[in-house]
Structure formats: C-alpha cells, structure tokens
C-alpha cells in the first residue's frame, strides 16, 4: 500500500515528532484505509497539549480547544490535530462532563466507540491496535471497545452509530454489543436529535441500510427513535437509497407520520422538509394513477424518483415507472418552469396597454398551461397571437 495520508498531513506529524512529541493518524480514516476505501477526513492525535501544538506551528486556529482540537494551517491547508484525551463522568448519557488530556495513545484509543475506530497509524506505517480492531475489520464486525453496556450508558448516540456503521460498511454487530444496545435502547431519548440526524443521514446513504434497519428493530431502538416505524419491511423494500432524502421520505411509508411530523422530529432543514412534503403530495397523486404532465411539471425530478420508489415498495408486483422514463418524460416537457416562457407580465401589459393587476397573473397561468399542454408553441409571436385570440374572445 502507498504511504498513508497527504503530504501536508505527514508534514504535520513529522514536525510534531521533531519537536519531541508523539503524533499519529487516528480514527475512521485508518479503518477506511485498511478496507481499501477512500479515506474520509484525516485526523491526527498527539501527546502534545493544545498549547504545545500551537507553539510548534506558526499558523493555527482554535476550533475546539476545550476538547483539545487545534486546526493547523499547513501550507494553507487546515489539518485537525487533537490532543490525546479521555472523557470522564457522563451523567446524562451524552456529552462527557469533562475532558482530560492524557499522554498515552492507548488511553485515547480506549475512549473511542468501536474497535474498528480505535486504530492508529504511525508515520512509519505501524498500526497501533490495542483492541483487536484489525481482526474485527477482517471479521466484518462492529464491537464496542470495552464493556458495551457501559459505553452506551456513557453516550447513547453510540448505539445509533453502531447501526449506521452496519449500513455503511455492511458489517454485523457483535453479539454482546447488540445485546447491550437492546438493554440501553431507551436511553437514546436523552440524545439530541441533531446528533442522531447526522448519523441517520449516513445510515440512509450506506450500502446496506436494510441491515441497519433490521438491527434497529431487533434491538428495540425503533421503539425509542423519534417517528420510527416498528415494522420496517416497507422501508427496507425501498433500500438502498441514492440520497439521504430518499431515506427520510421512506419513513412516510409507515403511514403513521406526516412529512411535517418527521421533519420536525428530526429537525430537518426547510429544504428537506419541503422535499418530504412534496413526496407526500406526489405519493397521493401516484396512488391515483401514473404521473401526468402536470406532475412532471410541478414536482422536482428527485421528488418523483423518491415517490416512485415508495410506490413500488408498496406495489412490488405492479409495473412501475422507471427512472429513465421519469427523466425522459421530464425532458419532453415544452417548458420546465414558468421562467422558461418566452413572454412575461411586461409583454402582456404592453400588448393590452393595461396596468398590472390580478388579471395579469391569471393570464400568465393560462399561457403557461397552453404552452405546457402544447396548445401553443413557446414562441413570442405565437404566444402573442394565441393570447390576442383568447383575450378578445373573453372580453
């Protein structure tokens, strides 16, 4: 394998070492590297205190100094460097009350959630793996570092992280770890939905969301996650998903929760909320029959695709609409939105010599419809002709 890390990140470690400190690559990027996957963001851990890190490099930015993280600007690129630390005394199943900086890498790795995430790599390429992470990677297994139940009691979010890794990596959750999720599932209620949402977004985008979904049910997490169905059969039938929004939309399939309820429960953004509401609406239309010109025009392509996915999950034996067909039908539309019209309100005012008012919007609607349904080509002169005919007829 090639040397791990970018030239700049290796330089950061080298300079920390030259200053007499220990520094290594850590976390998820090592896991992904060993799996031969494109590494996510590269994290560096060091025995140097945040102040010591700042004294080694001329340009640093404090991003989370209380948690020991300093952003080192290496040749204009920001590299995250975090001091070895432990987290202690969790009183509320979430954030630690106190972060303590430590000198030993092993202690730092010990606070991490799963063995496959508790790996470090030195600049020389030596793997530091005190908890059997490499073996678990080979076994394709998600296993807590230490006593699983204690670890979930400390931070209940780790339970959702376990299932999201099962989706992203397609791994099994080790038996005692799964059992501990079962025993602690209720405490997920103490975790902020913002943190849950980050993990769920990744879960939806994983290669095996079905696996995660069945773990969520098996472990009873489904009973305690907000607006989550206890029967995930239909949800699974939609998987895999090509966007997180498709996953969120699939929650509509339970039929128990509305788009707004789901969006509010997970604090989805306004854009995400609008997407779910549109899918809900499009789905009602789809239940009544195949999409019409009106639907291809009014709904976003991605909304139609997500909607069709839901519809097909419910009607596995019926012939659905393929994605190609949806793209094709959308492409064939004479206009994709009102902005595509070759005329606007000012033209109408000029043609009639009238001032703006409600009539203007009404006539723009009629023109839009005429062009959309090919009663009139989208051409300035043709629209003018069509308009005069219709306008005179109605005056």
Shortest distance in whole angstroms from residue 202 CB to ligand ATP:
6
Distance CA 79, CA 86 (A): 21
Joined together, the tokens standing for residue 289 give 């029959």
- Shortest approach of Mg ion to residue 156 CB, angstroms? 20
Who's near 371: CB < 8 A, 6+ residues apart? 334, 335, 341, 377, 378, 383
Residue 155 labelled as part of a binding site: yes
DSSP string over 113-170:
SBGGGS-EE-TT--EE-TT-HHHHHHHTEE-BSS-HHHHHHH-THHHHHHHHHHHHH-
Q: Is 231 annotated as a binding residue?
A: no
Do the annotations mark residue 158 as ligand-binding? yes
Residue 393 is assigned to a ligand binding site: no
Query: In whole angstroms, how close is the CB of 40 to Mg ion at the nearest point?
Result: 4
Closest separation between CB of residue 41 and Mg ion, Å? 5
What backbone torsions phi and psi does residue 129 show, to the nearest 5 degrees? Answer: -145, 70
Of 31 and 286, CB closest to Mg ion: 31
Give, in degrees to the nearest 5, the angle at Cα 108 between 102 and 114.
165
Known binder of ligand: residue 300?
A: no
Choose between 205 and 376: whose C-beta lies nearer to Mg ion.
Answer: 205
Compute CA 45 distance to the chain's CA centroid, rounded to the nearest angstrom: 26
Contact status: 40 vs Mg ion (CB under 5 A): yes
On whether 170 is known to bind a ligand per the annotation, the reply is no
Binding Mg ion (rule: CB under 5 A), the pick from 5, 10, 25, 28 is 28
- Give the nearest distance from C-beta 39 to Mg ion in angstroms: 9
Residues making contact with ligand ATP (CB under 6 A): 27-28, 40, 112-113, 117, 155, 157-158, 202
- Residue 206, Cβ neighbours under 10 Å: how many? 22
Taking alpha carbons only, the member of 239, 238, 226, 149 closest to residue 189 is 226
- Is 206 a residue that touches Mg ion (CB under 5 A)? no
Binding site residues, Mg ion, CB under 5 A: 28, 40
Q: Per the annotation, where are the binding residues for CTP?
A: 28, 31, 112, 155, 158, 161, 164
Question: Annotated binding site for ATP: which residue ranges?
Answer: 28, 31, 112, 155, 158, 161, 164
Write out the binding residues for Mg(2+): 41, 43
């Amino acid at each position: 394998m090639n040397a791990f890390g970018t030239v700049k990140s290796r330089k950061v470690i080298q300079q920390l070492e030259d200053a007499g400190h220990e520094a290594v690559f850590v976390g998820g990027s090592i896991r992904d590297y060993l799996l031969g996957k494109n590494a996510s963001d590269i994290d560096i851990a060091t025995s140097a205190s945040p102040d010591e890190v700042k004294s080694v490099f001329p340009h640093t930015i404090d991003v989370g100094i209380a948690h020991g993280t300093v952003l080192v600007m290496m040749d204009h690129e920001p590299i995250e460097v975090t001091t070895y630390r432990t987290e202690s005394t969790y009183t509320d199943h979430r954030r630690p009350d106190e972060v303590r900086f430590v000198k030993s890498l092993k202690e730092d790795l010990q606070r991490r959630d799963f063995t496959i995430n508790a790996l470090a790599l030195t600049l020389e390429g030596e793997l530091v793996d005190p908890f059997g992470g490499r073996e678990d990677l080979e076994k394709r297994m998600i296993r807590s570092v230490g006593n699983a139940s204690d670890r979930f009691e400390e931070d209940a979010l780790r339970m959702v992280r376990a299932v999201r890794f099962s989706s992203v990596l397609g791994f099994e959750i080790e038996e005692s770890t799964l059992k501990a999720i079962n025993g602690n599932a209720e405490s997920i209620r103490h975790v902020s939905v913002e943190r849950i949402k980050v993990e769920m977004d990744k879960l939806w985008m994983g290669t095996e969301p079905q696996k995660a979904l069945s773990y969520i049910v098996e472990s009873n997490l489904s009973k305690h996650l907000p607006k989550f169905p206890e029967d995930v059969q239909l949800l699974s039938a939609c998987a895999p998903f090509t966007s997180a929004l498709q996953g969120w939309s699939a929650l509509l399939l339970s039929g128990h929760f509305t788009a707004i309820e789901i969006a509010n429960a997970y604090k989805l953004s306004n854009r995400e909320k609008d997407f779910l509401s549109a899918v809900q609406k499009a789905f009602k239309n789809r239940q009544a029959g195949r999409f019409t010109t009106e639907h291809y025009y009014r709904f976003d392509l991605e909304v139609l695709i997500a909607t069709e996915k839901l519809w097909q999950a419910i009607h596995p034996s019926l012939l659905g609409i393929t994605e190609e067909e949806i793209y094709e039908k959308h492409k064939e539309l004479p206009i994709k939105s009102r902005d595509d019209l070759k005329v606007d309100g000012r033209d109408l005012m000029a043609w009639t010599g009238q001032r703006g008012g409600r009539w203007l919007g009404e006539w723009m609607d009629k023109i839009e419809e005429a062009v959309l349904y090919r009663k009139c080509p989208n051409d300035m002169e043709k629209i003018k002709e069509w308009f005069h005919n219709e306008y005179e007829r109605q005056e």
